[in-house]
Amino acid sequence: MYIHLGERISIHDSTVIGLFDIENTTIGPDTRAYLNRMEAEGRVVNVSEEMPKSFVICMENGTETAYISSISAATLRKRAGTMF
């Protein structure tokens, strides 16, 4: 099953490691450091130009990618169905 993250980006649900609300999770220094490292390594994909509401961490072919989405984490969880 695929999860639509916004714009023209969809990901396969089997690649999802975690789905997070960006406002609540980036308060912690560890999460900020993780996202900063991912961005420095070029592994962040910004799915929309709108205000970010969530981020999704995926593992595909041994590589982690962080997708920043303007769709709320709650909506993405609903789209993923029973996975979460």
Can you give the pTM of this predicted structure? 0.91
User: Going by C-beta distance under 8 Å and a sequence separation of 6 or more, which residues neighbour residue 18?
Assistant: 56, 57
State the residue range of the domain holding 75. 2-83
| Segment 38-69, tens digit of pLDDT | 999 999 999 988 999 999 999 999 999 999 99
Structural domains of the chain, count: 1
CA dist 42 and 66 (Å) reads: 10
The one-character DSSP state at 13 is: G
